[in-house]
Amino acid sequence: MTEMREIIFDTETTGLSPDEGHRMVEIGCIEMVGRMATGRTFHAFFNPQIPMPPEAERVHGHSDAFLADKPLFHERAEDLLAFLGDAQLVAHNAGFDMRFVNAELARIGIAPIPMARVVDTVAMARSKFPGSPASLDALCKRFGVDRSHRVLHGALLDAELLAQVYIELTGGRQIGLGLADDSAEGQANPSARPNLFPAIQRPHRLPRQFSASAAELAAHQEFLAKIKQPLWLSKR
């Protein structure tokens, strides 16, 4: 049986709605197969061709100067779609991310990705923990996912955190989630990829044998002989 391929992803944008002209400026994707990270990632920044609102820059830190030399979306669209393939997509508050992804695709005449392919981890969390906070930060805290290195939002970093949360939401922790190096060296040499969540190596130990010695058995019988009217000999 072929194990399911899933893409955990997140986006950063210039605002809250593509209907108001806001654009996607970053996307980060992590490939998982059989609920285990493979080490393959896709990460890209985009020049939105509009000024970055200060309130959005405070969230993710991407300034106009930083994005000025980044490619336009259409220049990386083919690479993105090739990476996504026909995998199931997983996002936190998926409707938000998918509106931006599909708006960018629409701008270049590509059909939208159907929401039927997308799993929303906010909906999963609200179903599993009704009445509890369902933000990514809250779920990281609930599941003990380390987010101390998350000063600002970032698409690949948030996808990494979400991948760990998603594993917990779907049945339990798996040791060994790792992010690949996006560089050419990382793609060519898998051993060069940083493993942010290395598997714990524990020494193999043989089963311990527990049995009483002859002296211990004799002492036990001597102790039992001193008990007057033991309950296990009484009639019921």
Tell me the pairing of strands 5-13 and 88-91.
parallel
Q: Is 74 a catalytic residue?
A: no
Residue 20 backbone phi and psi in degrees, to 5:
-100, 10
In the Cβ-directed half-sphere of 167, how many Cα atoms lie within 13 Å? 23
Where on the phi/psi map is residue 209: left (φ > 0), alpha (ψ -120 to 50), or beta? beta
Tell me the angle at which helices 94-107 and 73-84 cross, rounded to the nearest 10 degrees: 120
Are 106 and 23 within 8 A, CB to CB? Answer: no
Query: For residues 95 and 119, what is the distance between their CA atoms, to the nearest angstrom?
Result: 10
Q: How far apart are CA 176 and CA 52, in angstroms?
A: 37
Give the amino acid at 113. I
Beta carbons of 56 and 26 less than 8 angstroms apart:
no
Q: Which of 22, 43, 92, 153 is catalytic?
A: 153
Those residues whose C-beta lies under 8 Å from the C-beta of residue 213, and which sit 6 or more positions away, are none
Under 8 Å between Cβ of 108 and 25? no
Catalytic site positions: 153
